[in-house]
Amino acid sequence: MDAHTLLPPGTAPTQAATRPRLAVHRLPMAHPGDLSALAALFDEGVIEPAQVVAVIGKTEGNGGVNDFTRGYFTQTLMSLLAARLGRPAAELLRELPCILSGGTEGVLSPHYVVFARTGQPAAAAGPGPGALAIGTAVSAPLPAQHVGRWAQVASVAGAVREAMRGAGIARAEDVAFVQVKCPCVTAARAQAATAAGHTVLTADSGRSMAAARAAGAFGVAIALGELPDDPALEAAMGADFERFSRRASISSGVEVEANEVIVLGHSAAWEGTLRMACAPMRDALDIGAVAEALRPLGMNAAPQLSAADAARVAAVFVKCEPDRRGHVRGLRHTMLDDTDINAQRHIRGAVGGMVAGVLGDARIFVSGGAEHQGPDGGGLVAVIAHAA
Whether residue 368 contacts residue 377, with contact meaning beta carbons closer than 8 Å, is answered with no
Task: Name the residue among 368, 386, 327 with its Cα closest to residue 105.
Answer: 368
Whether residue 299 contacts residue 312, with contact meaning beta carbons closer than 8 Å, is answered with yes
**Catalytic residue list:** 181, 251
Whether residue 78 contacts residue 33, with contact meaning beta carbons closer than 8 Å, is answered with no
Task: Name the residue among 121, 181, 108, 175 with its Cα closest to residue 147.
Answer: 181
Q: Give bridge partners of residue 266 from the DSSP assignment.
A: 132
- Alpha carbon separation from 164 to 73, 121, 169, 297, 301 (Å, rounded): 27, 12, 5, 22, 32
CA distance 292 to 285: 14
List Cβ neighbours of 191 (8 Å cut-off, separation of 6 or more): none
CA distance 148 to 193: 14
- Residues at the binding site for Mg(2+) are 321, 370, 373-375, 378
- 3-class secondary structure, 54: strand
CA distance 228 to 230: 6
How is residue 300 annotated by DSSP? Answer: -
Length of the chain in terms of residues written:
388
Whether residue 294 contacts residue 305, with contact meaning beta carbons closer than 8 Å, is answered with yes
- Residues at the binding site for substrate are 70, 101-102, 213, 251-252, 348, 367-368
Chain-centroid distance of CA 13 in Å reads: 26
- 3-class secondary structure, 357: helix
Residue 106: left (phi > 0), alpha (psi -120 to 50), or beta? left
Helix orientation angle between 205-223 and 150-167, rounded to the nearest 10 degrees: 50
- 3-class secondary structure, 266: strand
Compute φ and ψ for 346, nearest 5 degrees: -60, -50
List Cβ neighbours of 338 (8 Å cut-off, separation of 6 or more): 346
